[in-house]
Structure 1
Amino acid sequence: MTRKPSRTSLLCPNCRRLISNDEPSCPYCGIRKPGSGLKNNAMVRGMSDPDLIFKVIIGINVVMYVASLVVSVLRGESVGLTGNPLSFFSPSNETLLFLGASGVAPINGLGYWWSLVAANWLHGSILHIVFNMLAFRNLAPFVMREFGTYRLVIIFTLGGTLSYLVSYLAGVDLTIGASGAVCALVGAALYFGKNRGGAYGNAVYRQVSGWVVSLALFGFIVPGINNWAHGGGIIAGAGLAWALGYLERKRESQRDKFLALLCGSVTAVSILLGIFTAATTMHVHIR
């Protein structure tokens, strides 16, 4: 029985160039020990794939939206099949509360601090999730291209969490949606355009400034919009972009990968806590 030879080359987990497996550091980007098991972890590698990250973020939002509708139906609650078209296919507030809606009520009343993360993945109607995912679809490719996929995960997750922290501190009672996280991407793009300057940077800044004006007008015209989360997300995104840097000035590092992995792990735990809480309360409700 012949033994297969061990792998002698690999793709650098940082710059994705082909290098020797036993290199002490990547000759292209300088990352130390590129062949180590931790740096080639499947989850870490997956976070470097822009298409995969894009699909995973949208996929989780869609799955959680469908799950909220299913839980509402199983609890015997209305899902907005009649009446206001803006609330068409709307999970019940009680279901959203247990799945991870954030705000003063769940945090102060139930101690659901994890809702600051989980609320970013919940939506209140079909139009709500469609609008947020379309905005994400427009912004995410730009942020991934200029900041990198790991930093996109960080900005989206931490920016959304900080937006809901601002919302909580402002006294908003109950809130959900990815708009705070999407606004963090707006803030990151705004910082990039202003900081980079030049013809390209100025063009980006002008275009993104239009987004900010539109968000402000939309927030004041349409009732029920969480302007605190939108404003908090923009400021958080700009601050995170400043702290992390963009690729033209600073390559993604092991710090970025660690933070992205941590954000992914905390998100998974928060979503699972919401599902467990909803399942438990649904069991009690049915009984």
Structure 2
Amino acid sequence: MAHPSITCPECGRATDARYSSCLWCGAALPRSGGRVIEVIRGDRGGYLVINAIIVANVAYYLLSLLISSRTSLGGGLFGFLSPDDNSLALLGATGTYPVYRFGLWTLVSANYLHGGALHILFNMMALRQIGPWVCAEFGASRMFVIYTVSGIAGYLLSVLAGVPFTIGASAAVCGLIGALFYFGKSRGGNYGQAVSREVSGWLISLVVFGLIMPGINNWGHGGGIVGGIIAAKLLGYRERSRETALHHAAALFCLLLTVAVLAYGTWKGVLVLSYRNF
């Protein structure tokens, strides 16, 4: 669980803002600085956004199981509680065929669909770990914009690369990793270098995992990372600029787009259930 952080004025490292002194060098920290108040408020808003994303993912996953005509209970470790492809396509899986057949809205909806219990569990655990850090450095509004844009970018690249059928929140989560990588490189200093090193380890793990595990959408991961880097560069981060009304408006647009897309997919799912019960 991430805590409110503040940059130590002496050593330049990020430390826990709840303490009176730096946990790294022992230097006294400002107790009434606006930075501490701002980060604490941002963390509260960030957790609200992250929890809302998790709830939306879980609800959409349960809907895919509900309308699935065949729910797999086997199929290996990653096949447990897997909805069938028809239900995933109906709710907005993306790829070359879904985009050309159903439309660009699937580039958004695919980020909230998952192929099994472990698939959604791992993605949501990653979001729960990385999301608060991105919120602390960028703010909740910019975090949600990065998350949404990165997911779309990852799946758009997948379509251009010819991936036929794909789902999952990993492209959007990779975008958050890309944003942190940009932050570390842009900020510099001891803290920036520490962020870059840790995030570089994540990126290497993603590449290795994608090469050894079958069925991983590496195009989606790569597109999400690049999308996150570009979005972070365009939006900026807290140490350079506060969140503005434009950032909040962009986040609201992403929210309305996401709600509209998921509502459309849910409406289609409800029609299928109504037809079966008729």
Report if the CA contact (8 A) 1:151-1:256 is conserved: yes
2:49 counterpart residue number: 53
Distance 1:192 1:171 in 2: 31
Q: Deviations over 1:39-67 (max 9, x none)?
A: xxxxxx99972221121111111111111
Name the stretch that deviates more: 170-179 or 277-286: 277-286
Q: Displacement of 1:279 after TM fit? A: 2.8
1:85 and 2:77 aligned = yes
Q: Find 2:63's aligned residue among 32, 43, 67.
A: 67
Aligned pairs, number: 240
Report if the CA contact (8 A) 1:47-1:53 is conserved: no
Report if the CA contact (8 A) 1:86-1:127 is conserved: yes
Q: Deviations over 1:95-132 (max 9, x none)?
A: 000001011111112x3210100110110000100110
1:116 and 2:112 aligned = no
Report if the CA contact (8 A) 1:184-1:234 is conserved: yes
Report if the CA contact (8 A) 1:48-1:150 is conserved: no
2:134 counterpart residue number: 143
1:49 counterpart SS class: helix
One-letter identity of the residue aligned with 1:63: A
Distance 1:114 1:150 in 2: 22
One-letter identity of the residue aligned with 1:268: V
2:180 counterpart residue number: 189
Relative to structure 1, the CA distance from residue 260 to residue 47 in structure 2 (aligned partners, 3 Å threshold; closer, same or farther) is farther
Q: Displacement of 1:78 after TM fit? A: 2.1
1:245 counterpart residue number: 236
Q: Deviations over 1:23-42 (max 9, x none)?
A: xxxxx9xxxxxxxxxxxxxx
1:94 counterpart residue number: 86
Distance 1:235 1:250 in 2: 22
2:136 counterpart SS class: helix
Report if the CA contact (8 A) 2:113-2:168 is conserved: yes
Report if the CA contact (8 A) 2:43-2:136 is conserved: no
Distance 1:225 1:142 in 2: 25
2:38 counterpart residue number: none
1:170 counterpart residue number: 161
2:226 counterpart residue number: 235
**TM superposition score normalised by structure 2:** 0.82
One-letter identity of the residue aligned with 1:240: A
Q: Displacement of 1:286 after TM fit? A: 6.2
What is the Cα-based RMSD across aligned positions, in Å?
2.0
Asked which structure has the greater CA Rg, the reply is 1
The percentage of counterpart residues that share the same residue type is 46
Q: Displacement of 1:283 after TM fit? A: 4.4
Distance 1:209 1:199 in 2: 15
2:103 counterpart SS class: coil
Report if the CA contact (8 A) 1:47-1:150 is conserved: no
Report if the CA contact (8 A) 2:42-2:139 is conserved: no
Report if the CA contact (8 A) 1:100-1:112 is conserved: no
One-letter identity of the residue aligned with 2:78: L
**TM superposition score normalised by structure 1:** 0.80
5+ long unaligned stretches in structure 2 = 1-33, 35-40
Distance 1:62 1:80 in 2: 17
Distance 2:273 2:98 in 1: 17
Report if the CA contact (8 A) 1:193-1:201 is conserved: yes
Distance 1:82 1:236 in 2: 35
Relative to structure 1, the CA distance from residue 83 to residue 102 in structure 2 (aligned partners, 3 Å threshold; closer, same or farther) is closer
